[in-house]
Structure 1
Amino acid sequence: MTKAAGKTFKVGDHVSWNSEAGRVRGHILRVHRKDVDYKGYVHHASPDDPQYEIKSDKTDHVALHKGRALRRLRS
């Protein structure tokens, strides 16, 4: 588990976040604790401020977000 912006998330957590299309829901697939090159962009991450790799519930889309952008959902 990691802690970012006062929130703790782990692989498997069900979360939501805002996107251009509105609120999206998904499950955390991986937690990145160091910079990661994803789709041609470097996403900055550290043990204190990780990036979360999340798969949308409705599509196969995978997104990377910091913990401060996420909201935990009840299972």
Structure 2
Amino acid sequence: MPHLPDDDTWLLERRRGIGDRIRVERLRQDRTQESVYLAAQMGRKTYQDVEAGNVDARVSTLLRIAHVLGVHVADLLR
């Protein structure tokens, strides 16, 4: 089994990467955060925290966002 670093810097970087991919796709579609979180039936703060990479998003949250943006959830996680 691979050994993870002692600090969580790598985890923060991965979360921010997911948020960046969400933001890039949202902006590519010329959509506001509000249009996405309302369509995904989620709260504003939750969406903003996911897009900023500040939280560990639940799988169901990422699936909702991916569905609204019309992308596969794997594209957000790559």
TM-score normalized with structure 1 length: 0.27
Using the size of structure 2 for normalisation, the TM-score is 0.26
Hey, which of these two has a bigger chunk of helix by percent?
A: 2
Structure (1/2) with the larger strand percentage: 1
